[in-house]
Structure 1
């Protein structure tokens, strides 16, 4: 099993004249108001959001007319200190930077992302000390090195490949255990092989009631614990965030 301690580590300039990679502004930078919404929504629109790999929504490929960026790169959200791997051709919102480089394979990128995020979080924050392009160009990364003192990209790839294989096997083991608990698997007919007919929703459910709450502004958001706060969003199963349970109880009074 490959371990991080199997290699010596050394600091490198991430960008700049002696840097390992290049960082530059996006080729599109489309304000949301200018998006072309006509046509199949198949193109990732990447923003500074920390959710969903930075993808705010999918848009028409007609937005390529503004410009686009190619896959297998890292996107960085300035000010928000977000960094994500983009595996598909995409367009972006404003204040997005693109990291490219000869050695940026999908596996190497997955190894670099936690290191990059850690450095950005430690050095930058929202407001006057955000991750501007000039500040990013001064960033340094500690990386495992080979016998020549250069970044060992093969080691990075092997390490990530092993961890992905572990996660995949853990998932398969979990699924097999759950299936064993459920007993004999029943075969179900194909969904298009049964008869369908329309129903009035009020015939299926006894009543509809409005949700209770005084709005998110009255509640404390928490990172863990608490209770899910639902809103009128089409993402994350309608969950906007988690809020303190004590505040929820008070708002019901």
Structure 2
């Protein structure tokens, strides 16, 4: 595909339309009680505000494809996603039935327009069919003031083209950096041994409390005990009364994400809900391996009623691979992670280069 040169969004003529001008209905899903459905291959869209709304993959009918859904409940209420794969949905979500057939890229443009207004919805004012259909959205128009669907489609295609080029280049650079995959023993064929956390890491240290009311606009990530987005909950410009770390793990102290460990190669501000783990001899591959070990061993051990504290960490042990001499096998850990990354980047590249 050749790159298209389209008119800048700011130079394009826009006009207000009611969403109902393009929508026949927003039909709620009918998949019930996700906890009782067997695992399968069909994506089930629910009230999630991330991961394209996918809640689980279940053994149920594939009812829709190439369609837009909008969350009607939860923290993601009012959030739209477009799905170019087969899916079904539960009653916390609605599928948009358009009046005329729209291409997947035109739907993606509409998705962006709808999501510009999602912050108006909340638990106390949930999105529903009536409220969404009377929502006013801005769309680019032609000289006759009709929606310029061709422009919308080409605009999204151009973005996809550029992003694909960037990511192909990124994958190739990463594969050059990682080198060739090396054959190593599987995890269940090597020796493992317990070590105190303090044998592997320096003395773990908690972050410092910082409340959202004190945030200053900026671009430095704040890491807390969130279970997604590498624990990042905000970006701020605070410089004083903070604890800042870099090139280490953050580990959630308690709550539903207790024990979740994320690697941060960048500088970040740590809240008091996480503890930072740093080892002078460790590189990013070691951190990624050890982060998984920590999560697997500590997630079920700590929670709201039993937080990870400094005294407990002094006694805490983790089980890791060892050499014949009984020392931590950092070479194995590094190659194990490299092999995974090589396979994943190769898969991504193969997928991207199919078109």
- Scaled by the length of structure 2, the TM-score of the pair is 0.53
Alignment of 1:132-211 (within 5 A): 132-178=128-174, 182=177, 187-188=180-181, 198-199=188-189, 203-207=191-195
Paired position in structure 1 for 2:93: 96
Structure 1, unmatched stretches of 5+, are 214-218
Distance of 1:156 and 1:207 partners within structure 2: 57
Distance of 1:145 and 1:230 partners within structure 2: 52
Structure 2, unmatched stretches of 5+, are 198-203, 207-223, 227-231, 236-243, 245-249, 263-267, 276-306, 311-355
Q: Is residue 32 from structure 1 mapped to residue 34 from structure 2 by the alignment?
A: yes
Distance of 2:254 and 2:52 partners within structure 1: 21
For residue 199 of structure 1, report the CA deviation from its aligned partner: 2.5
Paired position in structure 1 for 2:115: 117
For residue 147 of structure 1, report the CA deviation from its aligned partner: 2.3
Paired position in structure 2 for 1:216: none
Paired position in structure 2 for 1:87: 84
For residue 141 of structure 1, report the CA deviation from its aligned partner: 0.9
For residue 228 of structure 1, report the CA deviation from its aligned partner: 5.4
Secondary structure, aligned partner of 1:146: coil
Paired position in structure 1 for 2:18: 13
Secondary structure, aligned partner of 2:274: helix
- Scaled by the length of structure 1, the TM-score of the pair is 0.71
Higher relative contact order (CA 8 A, sep 6+): 1
